[in-house]
Structure 1
Amino acid sequence: MNKTINAMYFSATDTTKKVVSGIAWQVSENISTEIAINTIDFTLPEVRTKPVSFTEEDILIIGVPVYAGRVPNILLKYLNTITGNGALAIPVVVYGNRNYDDALIELKDVLQLNGFKVIAGGAFIGEHSFSITLAKNRPDEQDMAIIDDFAKQIGKKITTQEEIETVVVKGTRPYRKHYVPKTKDGSPADIRKVVPKTNSNCIDCKLCANLCPMGSIDAEDVSKLNGICIKCGACIKKCPTQAKYYDDQNYLRHKQELEIEFASRREPELFLT
């Protein structure tokens, strides 16, 4: 089978990367051991300036994190520059154990409108970007076993169906509004403008500036932001000296509520038919 497998993802803290890469590798193994995997990591802003095009000979596994139950707004412009030209696609969303709401159906719709044939889809759980305890260390070994089996089923579908069926995934249209946290009195809490602070642990290694997916952290003074913060958690979780933190009370209250209310383990949801 003359196919190219493409693993494409936005993954600030590497959870979506782990899921997408796992699926891509196993699909490759189940179709042909000679198929190479082409990786497109569009986490950093400069990558998102270049449109990508595929052909009927391509299989695309594409993954994004779930933000407030939807595909992140900041990715939609870029995602709509990707053209399928009949390529097969498997959309993947990764969420922090609360819910993925309409993110998967939204990503599927984007792909279909851009010329892809969507043949499978999945919603997986990754450690929440706000927390080190909510869905801690996920995707874990149990998740990866599910990912392997899912990929094997995708490989079987591709190699055995003469006319490969498109897939139906869970979600609603029109899409639900973005999930909104609440203040102590129950009114909506807008945390969009909340930004990380920097403490005296900072050694000015510039790692946070280099990995910020919005390119917002000032490389000359990493305590400053020159753009928006999407609360991806990369600068906090990857800082070698724990110098980055949030102190906004609404943000911290929301984080604590998530950790308590959604502590029970959620499992991946897979769609193949």
Structure 2
Amino acid sequence: MKRVITFYFSPTGTTEKIVMEIANNLAEKESCCILHHDFTLPNGRTEYPDFMEGDIVVAGVPVYAGRVPNVLLKYLSGLKGNGARAVAVVLYGNRDYDDALLELRDILNNAGFSVIGAAAFIGEHSFSYKLAKNRPDMTDLEMAADFANRLSLYVESAPKDLYISGNPDYKEYYKPMDEEGNTVDIRKVTPKTKDTCIDCKICARVCPVGSIPEDNVKILTGICIKCGACIKKCPVQAKYFDDKDYLRHKLEMEEEFKERREPEIFL
């Protein structure tokens, strides 16, 4: 029996929306069941689905600094596609997806999948409430549904080497600049917590790297990947960043990349 399987990392839910829209429409077109594997949280990265040759896997990740998030690379290196077909999907915050989609395609190909299609969609930036605000929106979802309809025509006859624009050597991770044009490193920037925190523990439960302990949500016990989950899912907006380089970078992006970008499809 044919199966459509979603396979995604989505701390703020934007990648999940696009992956689900594509997968649901594909499953309807192909008249098959749909299964889900969300590897956003640490416990989702302790095992893999048993992919089979007849499966169609819709694999989605957000773009971090123009690449597949490096925190995922170890987990993704253990994938075994077993000849299943795959759709590569990345979601970026209106700046650029750079080589992330090409990188994801290569990861899937190297894992034994046959990539039949790929797409780069846009979602509200993890740093901002203004950059690509409220995306993916209805237009994006309609394009995702149309992409699924077009994919159904390629399920059995997709080319083995799907073309995707980008640099096969992959660009370096995108780095913000200071006012003098020097690169700045925001990797060690961590979120702060206001006194308005109600200790609901949501931030601890949504942290994709398990760095916020439930017994003290005001501290970090591990890395912060700037995914925005703890900030955007806090019901009282108690989490925030105050690093000057981070904030300047956010404001610069909101101004420079405010023009709407549209999804790109590769078939």
Pairing 1:143–2:140 present: yes
Aligned counterpart in structure 2 of residue 266 of structure 1, from 254, 258, 261:
261
Structure 1 residues 117-136: aligned runs within 5 Å: 117-136=114-133
* SS in structure 1 at match of 2:146: helix
Kindly provide the amino acid, as one letter, of the partner of residue 212 in structure 2.
I
Query: Match for residue 28 of structure 1?
Result: 27
C-alpha deviation, 1:231, in angstroms: 0.3
- Alignment check: 8 A CA contact 2:191 2:241 kept: yes
* CA–CA separation in structure 2 for the residues paired with 1:164 and 1:219: 47
Query: Match for residue 107 of structure 1?
Result: 104
Aligned counterpart in structure 1 of residue 88 of structure 2, from 78, 91, 109:
91
TM-score (norm 1): 0.96
C-alpha deviation, 1:119, in angstroms: 0.6
C-alpha deviation, 1:233, in angstroms: 0.4
* CA–CA separation in structure 1 for the residues paired with 2:48 and 2:36: 15
Query: Match for residue 164 of structure 1?
Result: 158
Query: Match for residue 187 of structure 1?
Result: 182
C-alpha deviation, 1:260, in angstroms: 0.2
Kindly provide the amino acid, as one letter, of the partner of residue 25 in structure 1.
N
Query: Match for residue 51 of structure 2?
Result: 54
Pairing 1:223–2:218 present: yes
Pairing 1:242–2:265 present: no
Give the alignment's Cα RMSD to 1 decimal.
0.9
Kindly provide the amino acid, as one letter, of the partner of residue 264 in structure 1.
E
Where do 5+ consecutive residues of structure 1 fail to align?
none
- Alignment check: 8 A CA contact 1:51 1:78 kept: no
Aligned residue-pair number: 266
Identity of aligned residues (%): 56
Where do 5+ consecutive residues of structure 2 fail to align?
none
* SS in structure 1 at match of 2:152: helix
* SS in structure 2 at match of 1:259: helix
Q: Where in structure 1 do 4 or more consecutive aligned residues deviate above 6 Å?
A: none
C-alpha deviation, 1:164, in angstroms: 3.2
- Alignment check: 8 A CA contact 2:37 2:49 kept: no
- Alignment check: 8 A CA contact 1:30 1:156 kept: no
* CA–CA separation in structure 2 for the residues paired with 1:170 and 1:141: 26
Kindly provide the amino acid, as one letter, of the partner of residue 212 in structure 1.
C
Question: For each residue in 1:193-225, what CA deviation from the matched residue of structure 2 results, as whole angstroms up to 9, or x when unmatched?
Answer: 000000011000000001100000021110000
* CA–CA separation in structure 1 for the residues paired with 2:103 and 2:9: 16
* SS in structure 2 at match of 1:64: strand
TM-score (norm 2): 0.98
Range with greater deviation from structure 2 (182-191 or 16-25): 182-191
* CA–CA separation in structure 1 for the residues paired with 2:89 and 2:151: 13
C-alpha deviation, 1:52, in angstroms: 3.4
Range with greater deviation from structure 2 (222-231 or 169-178): 169-178
Kindly provide the amino acid, as one letter, of the partner of residue 236 in structure 2.
T
